[in-house]
Amino acid sequence: MKWGAIVGISVIVALMVLYEWPKMDQKQMKEKAALLALSGVGFILAILLVFFPDMPGPTDLVNMIYKPFGQILEK
């Protein structure tokens, strides 16, 4: 079941990149690098969520960082 999800995620990410890539000019190297980097990070996060569904999200990280500052400001 997990392998089916991984294949599905891979196909979707590949289709997204293949759809956007030809629309960019050949001189837009920074934009292409950003597309690949963001797609790669999204792909890795999606795969991690398949294997570890209880993984904390980005809001949990923000809450962990700013919770001490909020407690200081409440006093």
Tally of domains within the chain: 1
Q: What is the pLDDT of residues 1-10, one digit of tens each?
A: 789 999 999 9
Q: Which residues of the chain have pLDDT under 50?
A: none
Q: Any idea how long the chain is?
A: 75
Task: Residue 61: count other Cβ atoms within 10 Å of its Cβ.
Answer: 10
Cβ neighbours of residue 50 closer than 8 Å, sequence gap 6 or more: 2, 5, 6, 9
Domain that holds residue 50: 2-74
Give the model confidence (pLDDT) of 36-45 as tens digits.
999 999 999 9
**Whole-structure pTM value:** 0.74
Contact 13, 42 (CB under 8 A): yes
